[in-house]
A and B are shown apart, each in its own frame.
Chain A
Amino acid sequence: MSFSLKDLERRARRQSAERRFRAYGIIALGVAAAMLLTLFFTIFTTGISAFWRYETAIEFTLDAKTLKIDPTASYSEDEYRSAVRKAPYSKVIKNAVYGLFPDVKKRKQKIRLAKMVSYGAESLLRDTLMSGDAKVGDKIKLWVPLSDDLDTFLKGNIDASLPEKKRRVKDIEMSWLETLESEGSIRQVFDWGFFVRADSREPEIAGLGGAIKGSFYLLLVTFMLSVPIGVMAAIYLEEFARKNKFTDFIEININNLAAVPSIIFGLLGLAMFLNFLGFPRSAPLVGGMVLSLMTLPTVIIASRNAIAAVPPTLREAAIGLGASPMQTVLHHVLPVAMPGIITGTILGLARALGETAPLIMIGMVAFIASVPDSIVDPSTALPVQIYLWVDSPERAFVAKSNAAIMVMLAFLLVMNGTAAYLRYRAENR
């Protein structure tokens, strides 16, 4: 075989074009991976510290006078509980921290000292008294969370080299912390409560529990509504409906709805569910209904594609055997289409999980300091919580919001993992 010079040139050009084409692919992949890694790295490094918190050990004196509970008086059970509930614990805390540093006399410094301990310590004391672990008149040593500023400082997120005026944590506070540390009464613990507590104005006691539960309820409602309705609609359109102008019209509309901005669905929810039907504001029930409106087109389209991809020979085989149309669908078409339906559903739900705009419209963006107990309780959701925290001025919320993003990513990971597992199961039955 012989080649002319022209042939060889053409070959060289073709081969180098081939190499360049592959190089573009690798570059594209590299850029995407770098962006993703940067994103993850930033979120991780800023957010990870929010899962721990600093506590300090302080001895509190639960004397009857400060707490305004008379030890000699005979209370009924209810009266005692209400007295314990109402007692002014802030005074107990103030006395305790003043006692730690008796040299502090200046008014301004005393105010700073009183703020050293998180205001969450009050509920801690109340709970200790309520549960009977301590009695009125006792002296107890408790680990209580530090204030958000000191906590942020100890985590290294406040630059100590800045001039004092520009710093949230002053020199004297730093010296207190040093004293406490040298006494061994400062420790860092993993903050499990972060996943349980509700939102709060105080960063050190603000938790993600309300948002996690809210998002869970939201997805539950969305799943319960959009999957049965979506799959049934897809089955009907694909297997039973005649092809005519009316079904074509429906199909076009479903495709259009899939592209409608989510905030429009929020407006619809506001007008329909809240104003017209009078459903409760800020409730996961309404949020879930709005999100299922948004998810339905995705579920229907994905399910229709999955059903349409089932080989017609399979239907013929079943029908030819005397299976009714319903038996054909339930026994043969659906099991084969299931992996595709699951994938589409999870994609839709994942989008619903990250959606903020429609929830703003129906009032799920409100500050809610309690964990919802049912789908009709006021609640937030993870993306809304992130939005709220990012918007807050306190320095400590920066780490908190990044931690919340991490939790949401974990949520997504679990959902996609479940989907992959279910798909694997459905494919390998």
Chain B
Amino acid sequence: MTTAKFSVNELTVYYAIKMGMQNVSMDINDRQITALIGASGCGKSTFLRCLNRMNDLIDVARVSRCTWDSPSESYVPTSHASGAVLMDGEDIYAASVDAVELRQRVGMVFQKPNPFPKSIYDNVAYGPRIHGLANSSEELDHIVEDSLTKAGLWKEVNDRLKQPGTSLSGGQQQRLCIARAISAGPEVLLMDEPCSALDPIATGIIEELMVELKKDYTIVIVTHSMSQARRVSDRTAFFHLGELVEMNDTSVLFENPSNDQTKGFISGRFG
């Protein structure tokens, strides 16, 4: 029996006057891989970033000047969200929830491998250090080794932990980022097109890794590769123009989609 890790209820996100996505409701099951597919700009990344409140960042700053003509709208003041996201039954947008703590529980892996410009060891040790997960250096060593092992990287890097993380190959860097996310002790891993910058062999390794990791973690992955969604995910959600069109078990969605748009998309007729 699977339980829902996230329950999303009528979630709508606006970026100033442009809409990100609207009225999305779905359950994301615990210790399963949920794939989000759809054309570019369909809102799947926006949705993913709602699950660890990364969209909050847009509130803070760093939105480039917007070029809309209307003078009263010449600045992008904020993204606006309505609806609710429940994690383990608790609303993660409630005032009592600290976004920083939430992001420790919901880790994220990005499209482009982005290791810190520090050593491999420091990359993985950073999360445990800031969250105070290790009481001694031996404990920290243990967490680092454990995380790297889980990410399937330990055998390749155990003799050069002091080397910079950026010296690794693209696929290794992405696994380093996964190890870094794991080391902070999350319950959920969000992956935003984690393989789009990688070659097929590195992609294969990461896909195997994901299947391995779902024993311990709930994984949500955004992907442009339908074959990838098919290979690794348990459930798949199809987004189109900011709306959730269809969500079902992966096998059902790909074999027997109930929606014509889904059918068109997975057969490669549009999107």
- Chain A interface residues toward B at CB < 8 A: 238-245, 311-325, 327, 331-332, 335-336
Contact = CB atoms under 8 A, between A and B. Distances in A.
A238 B184 CA distance: 27
A331 B126 contact: yes
Nearest to B57: A319
Contacts of B101: 322
Contact of B60 (A322, A325, A327, A336): A325
Contacts of A327: 130
A314 B63 contact: no
Contacts of B107: 320-322
Interface string B179-192: 01100100000000
Nearest to B115: A317
Given A243-B65, A317-B177, A322 B104 contact: yes
14 contacts: A238-B61, A240-B60, A242-B77, A244-B75, A313-B112, A314-B114, A318-B126, A319-B103, A320-B54, A320-B107, A321-B108, A322-B104, A325-B60, A331-B126
A323 B52 CA distance: 13
Nearest to B111: A313
B97 interface: no
B161 to A, nearest CB: 16
A103 to B, nearest CB: 82
- Of the four ranges (under 10, 10 to 19, 20 to 34, 35 or more), the interface on chain B belongs to 20 to 34
B62 interface: yes
B15 interface: no
A321 B126 contact: yes
Given A321-B127, A322-B184, A323-B130, A316 B110 contact: yes
A240 B57 CA distance: 10
A336 B114 CA distance: 14
Nearest to B78: A242
B61 A320 contact: no
B100 interface: yes
A325 B60 CA distance: 10
Report which residue of A245, A315, A316 has the largest number of chain B beta carbons within 10 angstroms of its beta carbon: A316
B200 interface: no
Contact of A322 (B75, B76, B127): B127
B108 to A, nearest CB: 4
A313 B63 contact: no
A322 B127 CA distance: 7
B110 A322 contact: no
B103 A321 contact: yes
Contacts of A238: 61
Contacts of A320: 52, 54, 103, 107-108, 110, 181
